[in-house]
A and B are shown apart, each in its own frame.
Chain A
């Protein structure tokens, strides 16, 4: 038998076999402790379920790849619906008999989620092939990506502005959105260094820490207000950017990444150990909160002063401060974005991108690589400093724990996942990498699994990042509509 169906079956069986070998110790065996003695129990239904799901999933993938219309579509949809139903059964504990039967077949939240997601992907692939099969390749004209991304950006920005006003938005969502926006801003700042200038900086969190501690110390020691401290913190962070940038100028690629990683850790360890100055692991408390143009957010303003709610004649609600914080970080993020979009079109921005493309060629055109790299480090660090100030004022407390390497890693992941240099890509990636885990805390156990799976899928399908489109910074003619 050499028909494509036989090949697909063989392939699916092979993949299911490999999955079986791999899954057996993880899924098929379970170590439980009864009393004091650990015992090994088995979970054969789950194990069999996993292998069967993978078998049909692989069958669906190879059928979808060959572009056979309906079979993979039906298979994919069945998997998706089955997985979703199984989740429902799991969540509610009861359900229709069919769904319950399926649930007996595919037990476990994770397995059901995988089946559901895989089913959707296969159905999507098959559906696209089904729609495309009658068309000639020439008719598949690429969408005008520049326009599309512009509208997507405007839509996202509009949504972000209106978010606190939407019905059904609660404190938790605003809190999560504020956190996501902090990462969006940091991602955009890091995008200057990594995405535009191509300098892989794994210690970006150091500048975030410098900004946060600058604000915290200035605020606690001198009682300076947020708006005075913000530019100071940005400047200090930029100076640190230059300071740390100098020694690493000659390094490229992996070497640069390792050294910046080291610098990031050094800053954290200094913050941890310089007890007299930074209060060490105890952190700095009672950091000043920003005011609304001089009006603090306090339930009981001091004698003779006005507070936000008394001035506007509304009843006190702590959510006012949260919403103000949200708009504050939104404004800071917008400034970062506007600045980056503008500087990309200036000579320095073009020199950054050229440096990313080919440093030798840059030298041969008279671009000073030292100044160009340092300016990228400094400006990227400055935005981290701003974001750090915001972080300190939002939390009211800073300690070295907030500035561990994992923060840098998440930020680099955001930039790389989003598509290096793409502003919207960074925003989308921040929502996916920070917003979703924060919102689905119940599924925390599976976070790293989902993280890893997402990374593998990205490497397979979009190795350049989610959005890789790059619009030239200058054109001889207006962009085609």
Chain B
């Protein structure tokens, strides 16, 4: 029996004026699985992400999240970006890192628990008078943040400004921060871009750990094929905004349409990818 569906994307289309960035794409994500979204540059992968997380409103299509935490499904295409995180618990990271550079690593992770802490602080009033219930909640949040700091190997940097961190550490901080939002679906936009092979290896382990021990589904955009093939349970391939293939890693690797999409304009893509992944 298949695991229950967590996210289903149906007929997703995104137009920017005359340009059709995503054209009638449908796919679904199962609970507790790692799905990858791949495709040459400009295939529309990040646009799909932006639609999922509310940063764009899709022109056409329906995105439904069947959260295990809620009885009624969420219609993500109708929700504001911050509400998707707060209520539906779909959390993303960014291709170009977006930490809060002047804030410490721990502060970054505390901001991720903002909504929980706001409630605990009685919308600031309880916090101002230093109510014990708030202090308790804050201590819990710090504990949670410290867990993810340890898990992502940032223990030495906990009180360092995020902007001063090395590149790889900033990438991991983004994942730790997303995990502090307590997601049911974690969307990673090119998490391995700019990482060296051993860092990529560690990242694969981390993603696997998140799936196995926290039972969180992961949707991944990635160009590093060895990583994608190694870590994913299911792969969706986009090219020019359209879905050209879908299936298990082995099947996708041998799919003639995929091979053509990647090898058809090999030189350009390789150059584009390198420029793309340079920090």
Contact = CB atoms under 8 A, between A and B. Distances in A.
B188 to A, nearest CB: 12
Nearest to B100: A357
B56 interface: no
Interface residues of B, number: 43
A347 B117 CA distance: 6
Interface in B57-84: 81-83
B94 A354 contact: no
Given A350-B107, A475-B106, A365 B85 contact: yes
Contact of B81 (A342, A351, A364): A364
A348 B124 contact: yes
Contacts of B117: 347
Nearest to B128: A342
B146 A476 contact: yes
Interface in A335-373: 339, 342-343, 346-348, 350-351, 353-354, 357-358, 360-369
Interface string A367-398: 11100000100000000000000000000000
A472 interface: yes
B111 interface: yes
Nearest to B81: A363
Interface residues of A, number: 30
Contacts of B45: none
Interface in B97-122: 98-104, 106-108, 110-115, 117-118, 121
A477 interface: yes
Contacts of A367: 82, 111, 114-115
Interface string A469-481: 0101111110000
A3 to B, nearest CB: 40
A474 B177 contact: no
Contacts of A474: 104, 106-107, 110, 138, 142
B86 A366 contact: yes
B46 to A, nearest CB: 13
A350 B111 contact: yes
Interface string B135-159: 0001000100010010000000011
Contacts of B83: 366
Interface in A430-481: 470, 472-477
A343 B121 CA distance: 11
A361 B85 contact: no
A348 B99 CA distance: 18
B54 to A, nearest CB: 8
B110 A364 contact: no
A470 B92 CA distance: 28
Closest 3 CB pairs of A and B: A366-B85, A357-B100, A347-B117
A476 B143 CA distance: 9
A350 B102 CA distance: 11
Contacts of B55: 360, 363-364
